[in-house]
Amino acid sequence: MRTLRRHLSYSLPRRAYTSYRRTINNINEQNEQFIMKLSVLLLVAGCMFAFNKQSGLAWMMDEGGFYENTLRKYSGSLTGEAVAFFFPPQSNSFSPLHNANGSSTCCRNSTKVNDNQAWVDEVKVSNPAVSSKTRESKNVFVVSAVTRQQPDVLICLRKALILAIITSIFIIFLHLQRTLNEQICLASPQKVTWQLLLFRLLPLRTLSRVNGYTARLNFPYFLRILLWSLFVWLFDVKLHEAENESLSSYKNFRSLFKRRLKPGLRPINMSSGLVSPVDGKVMYVGTLTDDYNTIEQVKGVQYSLKAFLGRGVLPRYGRSNGMVLHTAVLYLSPGDYHHFHSPADWRLHLYRHFPGELVTVSPWAVKHMPGLLALNERVLLSGQWEHGYFSLTAVGALNVGSIYIDKYEELKTNVKGHYKFNTYTDKHLGKVGDQLVRGDHIGGFNIGSTVVLIFEAPSSFQFNIKPGDSVKYGESIGTI
């Protein structure tokens, strides 16, 4: 019997604890994001219950109940009735009504009057010492409500609930910060921002899949003209540059996003050292000077080069003697031409797909979220050009779950299911690789996103663009 007791007291709790830790570890690895998002939804539901219209916020005013020395004024005659509305219903603990001469006689009767749980307290006040002239006039009475002495169970539960909600939000924030620290430290040496934590709570990948499905739906003719015209107006779409200028011919949003330009509209600058691969806005251009550890997405906001490119890319392909690593970040707005082209003559050796977040890459987000470009889903095209290493990376964003590459047909982005940070899938093209000529069509996005160029070039290379400039594909962006 003693052995059995020892076994029950030590073995079972240990096994239970081991099973608990194993379950927690599996949750953290497989379903962490789902659980965190579900927790937030439950907290929101709890807040809605705690702050419903029947209780309002009055119960938070003091520890004892609803009111604390609350003064209200009501008009009435001395011989009539002063009607006071209390919301929600009060207890029987009231101070008396005081009339103009200081006497204090009253009686109370509470009656429910509507479905909003409002109650009416009818208080009769009489004062024989007042003259008849005063009795006939309208007077103002001050009602002083005393806090209830023993709040009911529902009020106590609601107070406990709001404390639990505040504590839960704080714990979730700390948990997110802890779990994101490893990712952010890999993606950027800078501090985690609350904006990024907030975006991580949102089901952005699911939202992007839903929007992608909606973008493929065919609309009837009368809706096309209305919706497409609104889109063209909102995002300043230059429809006159499109190969097909007829709005009614685009059956769905996706076909409008993927519109082609008129042939010959964008002449390729063949004499330039480097041309723009997209129509877009310049977010950042510069060189790397800190042993190639970090890179800037905008001025002063960094991300990790190793996390962005993955392992084995730079050591394998380059950093030739006497060369400097340069970068350019180009943003495509929803109204821009959504295809990207080869910016130079180079040989492609590797496709690398990084599953990741789909946080917006708008100029505001890139400025306030360090490491964003290394966290989002992206497709890296890596290879060599005449000066050493060369890469073009298409970065996904909110509502841009679809990145397509012409010669990478098996590529599938924003696939439903869990993904692990800093994992990727490679497709090697061998030592020979695939030769690309400047201006060649490579692939495209839906709606808009970002393209990042990272390449080696001599120290004499100079960008002829600056942040804030608008560029067109085929235009010169740098010279050697």
By CB atoms closer than 10 A (0-12, 13-18, 19+), residue 403 is buried
Amino acid at 358: L
449 classed as catalytic: yes
- Is the CB of residue 317 less than 8 Å from the CB of residue 384? yes
Phi-psi region of 307 (alpha: psi -120 to 50; beta: other; left: phi over 0): alpha
Q: What angle do CA 385, 389, 390 make, to 5 degrees?
A: 65
Rounded to an integer, what distance in angstroms lies between the CA atom of residue 9 and that of residue 2?
A: 11
CA-closest candidate to residue 203, choices 62, 26, 40, 325 = 40
Rounded to an integer, what distance in angstroms lies between the CA atom of residue 311 and that of residue 129?
A: 95
- Is the CB of residue 474 less than 8 Å from the CB of residue 439? yes
Rounded to an integer, what distance in angstroms lies between the CA atom of residue 401 and that of residue 235?
A: 20
Among the listed residues 341, 349, 353, 387, the single catalytic one is: 341
- Is the CB of residue 304 less than 8 Å from the CB of residue 186? yes
Rounded to an integer, what distance in angstroms lies between the CA atom of residue 190 and that of residue 302?
A: 7
Among the listed residues 55, 208, 276, 449, the single catalytic one is: 449
- Is the CB of residue 365 less than 8 Å from the CB of residue 400? no
Among the listed residues 279, 333, 338, 349, the single catalytic one is: 279
Give 62's contacts (C-beta < 8 A, 6+ positions apart): 68, 147
Q: Which sequence positions are flagged as catalytic?
A: 279, 341, 449
